[in-house]
Amino acid sequence: MTHESESGLPIEPVYGPEALAGWDPAERLGAPGAYPFTRGVYPSMYTGRPWTMRQYAGFGTATESNARYRQLIEHGTTGLSVAFDLPTQMGHDSDAPIAHGEVGKVGVAVDSVDDMRVLFDGIPLGEVSTSMTINAPAALLLLLYQLVAEEQGVDPARLTGTIQNDVLKEYIARGTYIFPPGPSLRLTADVFRYCGAELPRWNTISISGYHMAEAGASPAQEIAFTLADGIEYVRTAVAAGMDVDDFAPRLSFFFVARTTLLEEVAKFRAARRMWAEVMREEFGARNPKSLMLRFHTQTAGVQLTAQQPEVNLVRVAVQGLGAVLGGTQSLHTNSFDEAIALPTDKSARLALRTQQVLAYETDVTATVDPFAGSYVMERMTDDVEAAARELMLRVEDLGGAVRAIEQGFQKGEIERNAYRIARETDSGERVVVGVNRFRSDEEEPYEPLRVDPAIEERQSARLALLRAERDAAAVESALAALKEAAKGEANVLYPMKDALRARATVGEVCGALREVWGAYEPTDAF
């Protein structure tokens, strides 16, 4: 009996040599660390050292999140990943009326350089790698991070990490946008140029398929729409006068890892091969690093269940294994209680221990690309690639990623797939353990972590003190210079840094840019 993959592709019960008839291993595989990078971006992969274990964390105030980061580092985390609250993600201060009820809820509240200083107090920024999940205001948070590092005496050239900075997927699947696509892409190009000059080791963007997958995208849709967004960013930077080899080595990607392990491994391998070909054939990249699709993986939050939450430990272990077998460069493993509330200290530690078991107790790090040459894996890799290429051609036919977004194409395709998944789950065709099969009448009580609602009041008080202490004239002058730069073609990050150094707030800086660029108003084409 033939099964269907998550992408709706056939999975045969048995594969043999006929599955790879006419297949050229040299062309399709190559060697690890060599074009087309199907087998991994580095020759030795994990045989030298494991992936970066990067736990996503942030909640409440900067003080509370700082304590969690210190705990994670103490328990063996090798990279930090910052979650910001919704007001910060949308470019609003904690005391703005629109922020009411959301301060510190899904991440940490950062309103100014004062908060960023507290967030990383006692953490040596020249030694730790930090990923920041922030998009529309990504430039601001990066500059705040740089300012705090400079206060620590760290040379900006030593700073390593990533800003997500992928606003196109916000229009498709997530919704935390601020500016229209045109100015957003201009800001992205300014970040590329600024980092090339000032922060040479920083990854300037993490082009994300994760959120599309959480919204219901299939694996083929996830990589198709993510790579299409990546192409749009590269075209924008090249059109702004940058040489592709000056910025492409610092591009990175962000994908999900589902429980369907085989197709997930195939997806990662296909994405590497496709991106290498695009960068070489369309953009003429010459630096081998420009051809490498380096990516971070997070296990699938959407697959976690509030019912029998301990079963999520098993799901996360399988998902993490898929990411490792697929060749991820860094990994976040979700905590088992995230379908209920913010992770507790214990559940966050267990999530990290899951990665450590994979790295140090299994043998998956002993050899590179263990599935290479497998009849089923190579067939599935080719099948996922073919399905993704077909979707990418449809995006191109619509005029590229931005034009397709404006016509609602990606969003509509993802919504149709999400509906298919929901229908199959409701009917029982798709088994979800503890939800539609193998249910338990008795659930053990669970005490979730709760965010103190008084955080909003405390953040508002901090903002009032900041505005009373700072040089108001210096802030106004810096914001005026920022608006002038936004009206022209100058790189806005330099006046933006001056404004943030003067203790302008995130909301004030974003507000200044809104005055010039406007705010995005979504339209539904479907």
The pLDDT of residue 525 is above 70: no
Which whole-number Å values give the CA distances from 337 to 108, 304, 307, 334, 347, in the listed order? 19, 8, 10, 8, 7
Total-model pTM: 0.93
Residue 221 burial by CB count (10 A; 0-12/13-18/19+): exposed, middle or buried? buried
Average pLDDT (148-167) is: 97
Domain with CATH 3.20.20.240 in the chain: 49-427
Best CA proximity match to 407, nearest among 208, 181, 240, 226:
181
Residue 140 burial by CB count (10 A; 0-12/13-18/19+): exposed, middle or buried? buried
Query: For residues 59 and 425, which has the higher predicted lDDT (pLDDT)?
Result: 425
pLDDT band at 472 (very low <50, low <70, confident <90, very high): very high
Query: May I ask the CATH class of domain 49-427?
Result: alpha beta
Tokens of 359: 């790295």
Tell me: the pLDDT tens digits for 12-43? Answer: 999 999 999 888 888 899 999 999 999 999 99
Q: What is the DSSP letter of 92?
A: -
Work out whether the CA dihedral 385, 388, 394, 396 comes out positive or negative: negative
First to last CA, the chain: 36
* Residue 432: partners with Cβ closer than 8 Å, 6 or more residues away: 305, 425
Tell me: the pLDDT tens digits for 198-212? Answer: 999 999 999 999 999
CA distance 104 to 95: 12
Phi, psi of 108 (to 5 degrees): -85, 145
The pLDDT of residue 54 is above 90: no
The pLDDT of residue 142 is above 70: yes
CA distance 20 to 469: 69
Name the packing angle between helices 261-281 and 375-397 (round to 10°): 50
* β pairing state of 129-133 and 79-83: parallel
The pLDDT of residue 223 is above 70: yes
* Residue 454: partners with Cβ closer than 8 Å, 6 or more residues away: none
pLDDT band at 526 (very low <50, low <70, confident <90, very high): very low
Exposure class string for 272-298: b at 16+ Cβ within 10 A, else e: bbbbbbbbbeebebeebebbbbbbbbb
The pLDDT of residue 218 is above 90: yes
Of 54-58, 113-117, 466-470, the least confident: 54-58
CB 69 within 8 A of CB 57: yes
CB neighbours (10 Å) of residue 166? Answer: 30
Which whole-number Å values give the CA distances from 244 to 48, 271, 492, in the listed order? 30, 19, 21
pLDDT band at 449 (very low <50, low <70, confident <90, very high): low
pLDDT at site 524: 58
pLDDT at site 515: 98
CB 236 within 8 A of CB 185: yes
Name the packing angle between helices 138-151 and 493-501 (round to 10°): 60
DSSP string, 402-417: HHHHHTTHHHHHHHHH
Tell me: the pLDDT tens digits for 72-102? Answer: 888 888 788 899 999 999 999 999 999 999 9
Q: What is the DSSP letter of 106?
A: S
The pLDDT of residue 444 is above 80: no
Q: Mean pLDDT for the chain?
A: 94
CA distance 340 to 337: 6
pLDDT band at 448 (very low <50, low <70, confident <90, very high): low
Q: Which of 73-87, 306-320, 430-444 has the highest mean pLDDT?
A: 306-320
Average pLDDT (508-517) is: 98
